Every structure is written in C-alpha cells, then in structure tokens.
C-alpha cells in the first residue's frame, strides 16, 4: 500500500485493535503518520532483534549485518535464528500453520514470517477489519509459539 491517508487509517485501526486485544506488538504512544509502514517493537532482552507487523504479515527480525552491528551481535542473532529453526516443527505446531523461515547469511536481516492470505490495500477497504483481526491473532499466536525458544 502506498504512503497515503488510507494507509495511515489502516495502521491507526490496527494499533487500536492490538491495544484492545492486549497484543504485545502495541506500543503505547507510537505516532502513526503517512510515513508509517509498520508497527514494530524491539525485543526487550535481545539486542538487534524485533517484532514487526504490516498490511499482510507479522515477523520476528534478526539484524545480522549493517551499521552499528558488531561481529558478536551478528553471531548472536544468527545463533538465535538457528536455535529457533532447530525447533521449527514444534513452533509451527503451536502456531497452527507453517511459517516462512527467511535466512540468507549475507543479508542485513533474517526473518521468521507469518502472512495473511490477503494484504490490505485501498481497493479492499471493506475487508480491512477482517485482515486486521487476523494480523492481531497471528501476532498473539506467533509470540506464544516463539517466545519459549528465544534466549
């Protein structure tokens, strides 16, 4: 979805639903503007790791390269991803469906992703509520499936 007033409305509605559901991804006071492209939350105890949510997916990101990342931080995040991947079957069983395990050693970030069947866009405005509800439910299930294995 392009940066637009409808996109801003989508994210305001999504943040409100996340707040009402007591979903961990909701960040109190996060300002949503035309430039907002996702809701995100740094993991409270893992450096350079964070949760994200946009018009179609929920993810956990591991930053392994890039400005300000030390070799030790990169190694820690690669190890975190690999530890989760070692529990892939159990995580996906708890989550209730397959996840996208997106790892490429030379990229800045690695991700574990859950996608909704349809992305929100200005052309499917009547379905936004359903898409937002699905995203919030996925975020809650995603956290429950992954957190026991995060160190």
Strands 57-63 and 39-42: unpaired
Dump pLDDT digits (tens) for 3-60.
566 888 888 899 999 999 988 887 777 788 887 887 888 777 677 778 888 999 999 8
Which of the two residues, 95 and 44, has the higher pLDDT score?
Answer: 95
Domains of the chain, residue spans: 5-27+38-149
Quick one: which H or E segment has residue 128?
Answer: helix 128-146
* Residue given tokens 């503007």 in the structure block: 33
Q: Helix, strand or coil for residue 9?
A: helix
């Amino acid at each position: 979805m392009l940066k637009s007033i409808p996109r801003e409305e989508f994210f305001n509605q999504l943040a409100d639903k996340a707040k009402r559901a007591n979903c961990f991804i909701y960040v109190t006071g996060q300002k949503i503007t035309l430039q907002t492209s996702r809701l995100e939350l740094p993991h409270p105890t893992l450096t350079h790791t964070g949760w994200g949510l946009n018009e179609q997916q929920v993810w956990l990101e591991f930053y392994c390269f890039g400005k300000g990342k030390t070799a030790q931080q990169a190694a820690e995040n690669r190890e975190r991803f690999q530890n989760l991947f070692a529990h892939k079957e159990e995580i996906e069983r708890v989550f209730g469906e397959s996840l996208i395990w997106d790892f490429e050693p030379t990229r800045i970030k690695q991700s574990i992703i859950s996608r909704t069947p349809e992305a929100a866009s200005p052309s499917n405005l009547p379905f936004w509520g359903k898409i937002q509800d699905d995203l919030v439910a996925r975020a809650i299930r995603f956290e429950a499936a992954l957190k026991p294995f995060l160190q």
